[in-house]
Amino acid sequence: MADTAHATDGCVTLYRLPARLARSWLSRYSWLGMGYAFALTVFYLLMFVVPFGTAIWLSFHNWDYIQTPVFVGARNFAKLVDDPGFWGALWVTVRFSVVEIIVAISLALLLALALSHLRPVLQYILLAVYNLPVIMPGVVSVFLWRWLYRPNGGAINTILESLGLPSQPFLHSGDQALWSITAMVVWIFLGNSSIVLLAAINEVPDSLLEAAQLDGANAWQRFRSVTMPLIQPALAYQVVTSIIGTMQLFEPFQLMPGPGHSTRTLSLYTYQLGFEVLNLGYGAAVSIAMFIVLLSATLFELQRRRKSWEY
Amino acid sequence: MSASTSLPEPGRAAIRNHTKHGRRFSSWQTWLLVAILVIGGLGMLYPFAWLILSAFKTSNDIVRIPPRLLPEPWTLEAFQAVLTHQIGGARLTRAYVNSIVVTVLTVAAVLFTSTLGGYAFARLKFPGREFLFYFVLSTTMVPFLTLLIPLYVIMDRLQLLNTLAGLIVPAIFSSFGIFLCRQFVYGIPVELYDAAKIDGAGDFTIYSHIIVGLMKPVISVLAIFTFRATFNAYLWPLVVIADARNYTLPLALRGMSNTFGAHEYSKLMASSALTLIPPLIVFFIFQRNLVRGIALTGIKG
C-alpha cells in the first residue's frame, strides 16, 4: 500500500531510496523460502561448517580435551605418514569396502534380476524377506552373529561339521575375522541394495528387450546390451552410497573385533584416538585423511561410471 | 483437487509393467527361479530363527553342545529377567521409551524440514538457492567420524550432552531427505503451483494443502530410512549419552552384553527380540510402499 502511494506522488525523497530498492529486491523472493534458507544456514553452520572447520583446525594442534590446544603445524600429518596403525587401518578399510561392495552389489543385482521376472506380489513378499536383516539395529546383528560364529557350539560350525567340513575359528582368527564381518554385512544390506536396482530394472522398456530378442539376442546379450546400460545410473548410485556406507561402518568393528588390529578400520581408529586415547589432534588428522580417501574413492567411481555410461 | 490422482506417471507405468520380463519365461523356469529365491530367503531367515528361538531357552539349554535350534524346554524366564534387570539403575523399558521418543521426534522433524526443503529448493525463489542446495548435498561427502569430536564439543557447549535432545538436534535437517524431496517436487507440474498462486494462495498454504499431499510416496520412503537410521543409531548416542537412564536401546543392549556371560545369552537374545518389535511393525506397514516409492522418487536416476 505504502509503495503505491509513493509511486503515484512521483517525488521519492532520496533517503528512502535504499529502503525502496531493498524492498523491490526482496519482493522478487519468497518469504517462506528465505525463512527456510535462514534456518537451514544456521543449522548447517552449527552442525557442519563449524565442526568441519574445527576438525581441520584441530588436525594442526595437539589437544587432550583438558588443556589448551597447542599448535604443532603439520606434525600430526607427518606422524600419520609414519604410523603403521594408520596404514594398517586404511588397508583393512579398503579391503573390507572393496570386497563388501563387489560381493553385495553382484548378489543384489542377481537378486533384482531374478525378482524382476516374477509377479509384483511375489516380488514384494520375497523382497520383504531379503530386506528383513536391514531393519535390525547393527548392535543386534553383531550380538546375533557373534553367537553364530562361536568356534565351539556356534551354529555355523555345527553346520560345517554336519557336512563333514572342519570347524573354523572365524572371529578368533586374524585371517578370518575381517571376512566373517564382511559376510555379516553382506547379509545385512543385500536386500536393501537390490531395491534401487529392482526399481531401475522394472523401468527398462519392454519394447527394447523385445526388439533385441527379435534380433536374436540371447538372455545374456539382452542383459549386457539393453538392461545394463539403462540401469547404470542406479548402479552408480548404489556403488557410491555403498562406498560412503562401508567406509563409515562402525558397530561390527567395535563390538566383534578380530584379534589384534586385524579388523581395526579407519573409523574405529579415529574413534579410539578421540575418545579412548584422548589424542584429539591426531585423531582429527586421521579423520581428515579418511575424508580425503572417501572423497577420492567417490570421485574416482563417479568419473569411471560417467565414462562408461556416456559411451 | 484431482491432481492427487494424476501424479505418478513414469513410476506407475513401471509398476504396471512389472511382469514384462516374466512373459518370456516358461512356467517351469519361473518355478525354478522361485524355488531358488525361496531357498535363499530361508538362508536369510536362518539367523533370525536363532535369535528368536534362543530367547526362549533356559540358561543350560543355550550353552548345549552341539547346539539345537529349538528350545528344550520352552521358557519365558529370559524375557522376565531382562524386563526386571537393571543396567546402571535403569530398566530396558526406560531405554525403550527413550528410543521411541527420540525416533518419533526425529522422524517428524526430518519429514517436515525435508518436504518443506524440497518444495523451497524446487519452487520458491530466494537468494543463493542453487549454491545452498549443492552445499547441502556436498556435506554427505564428509564422514561423520570427521565431525564427531567437534560436534561433541559443540554439544558440550550447548549443554546438550547426556540429553535426548542432544540426539535429536543434530538430526533435524537431513541432506538426503532434502535431495530426495527436491527431486520429487520437480516432478510435480509447475502449473499446479502457478494456478494456486493465481488463486491467491500463499507459499505455505500451497505447501501444506497441495504439495505435502502429493508427496506421500517419498514421505513413506524417507520415513522408513529415517526411522531405521535413528532407531538403530549407535555411534552418536554412544558418544553423547553417559547416563544409563538416557540410554537408547542399542546402548542398553551393549550395556547388557557387557554384564552377561555366555550362559546368559538367552537374555541378550530376549532383549534383542524385544528391540526388534518397533522396527518390525514399521517395516510391515511401509515395506509395500518401499519399492513403489523408490521407483517414484527417482533415486535410480
Average pLDDT value for residue range A275-297: 93
Average pLDDT value for residue range A290-308: 87
CB pair distance less than 8 Å for A274 and B265: no
**How confident is the model at residue A6, as a pLDDT?**
46
Tell me if A240 sits within 8 A of A302, measured CB to CB: yes
Same structural domain for residues A237 and A168? yes
The class that CATH gives domain B2-21+87-297 is mainly alpha
ipTM of the complex: 0.86
Same structural domain for residues A292 and A162? yes
pLDDT above 90 covers a percentage of chain B that reads 49
CB pair distance less than 8 Å for B126 and A46: no
Same structural domain for residues A40 and A82? no
Average pLDDT value for residue range A177-189: 95
Tell me if B71 sits within 8 A of B61, measured CB to CB: yes
**How confident is the model at residue A97, as a pLDDT?**
96
Same structural domain for residues A14 and A149? no
In chain B, residues with a C-beta closer than 8 Å to the C-beta of A280 are 149
Average pLDDT value for residue range B42-64: 89
Average pLDDT value for residue range A229-253: 91
B174-192 pLDDT, tens digit per residue, is 999 999 999 889 888 888 8
User: What range defines the domain where residue A255 resides?
Assistant: 77-310
Average pLDDT value for residue range A286-302: 93
Tell me if A30 sits within 8 A of B125, measured CB to CB: yes
Position A88 in a domain = yes
Report the CATH number at residue A259.
1.10.3720.10
pLDDT above 90 covers a percentage of chain A that reads 51
Q: How far is CA A169 from each of CA A33, A82, B27, rounded to the nearest angstrom?
A: 58, 33, 44
Nearest to A103 by CA among A179, A173, A177, A199: A179
Distance CA B206, CA B115 (A): 12
Q: pLDDT confidence of A59, banded at 50, 70, 90? A: very high
Nearest CA in chain B to A128: B287
Q: Report helix, strand or coil for A38.
A: helix
Same structural domain for residues A203 and A296? yes
More confident residue, B56 or B89: B56
Alpha helices per DSSP H over B55-164 = 59-62, 77-84, 92-123, 129-138, 144-157
Same structural domain for residues A28 and A100? no
* Averaged pLDDT score across all residues of chain B: 85
Same structural domain for residues A6 and A155? no
- Which of A236-250, B58-72, B204-218 is least confident? B58-72
Nine-digit cell string for B81: 529377567
Same structural domain for residues A54 and A185? no
Nearest to B182 by CA among B236, B233, B127, B134: B134
Kindly state the helix (H) or strand (E) to which residue A70 belongs, with its residue range: strand A70-71
Q: Please, which residues 117-136 of chain B have a Cβ atom closer than 8 Å to chain A?
A: 117, 120, 124-129, 132, 135-136
Position A72 in a domain = no
Burial of A105 (0-12, 13-18, 19+ CB in 10 A): buried
Same structural domain for residues A298 and A156? yes
Nearest to A29 among B40, B126, B169 (CB): B126
In chain B, residues with a C-beta closer than 8 Å to the C-beta of A218 are none
Distance CA B261, CA B194 (A): 65
More confident residue, A50 or A123: A50
Same structural domain for residues A305 and A169? yes
Nearest to B153 by CA among A32, A57, A8: A57
Average pLDDT value for residue range A227-244: 89
**How confident is the model at residue A7, as a pLDDT?**
45
Same structural domain for residues A106 and A255? yes
Q: pLDDT confidence of A309, banded at 50, 70, 90? A: low
Listed in sequence order, the residues at least 6 apart from A130 whose beta carbon sits closer than 8 Å to its beta carbon are A111, A190, A191, A194, B40, B41, B44
B120-161 pLDDT, tens digit per residue, is 999 999 999 999 999 999 998 899 999 999 999 999 999 999
Same structural domain for residues A47 and A83? no
Domain count across chain A = 2
Domain parsing of chain B, residue ranges:
2-21+87-297
Average pLDDT value for residue range A109-127: 88
Given a cut of 50, whether residue B276 has pLDDT beyond it is yes
**How confident is the model at residue B299, as a pLDDT?**
57
State which of A15-19, B154-158, B289-293 shows the largest mean pLDDT: B154-158
* Averaged pLDDT score across all residues of chain A: 87
CA within 13 Å, CB half, B229: 19
Tracing cell 529370559 back to the chain, one arrives at B78
Tell me if B181 sits within 8 A of B118, measured CB to CB: yes
CB pair distance less than 8 Å for B173 and A33: no
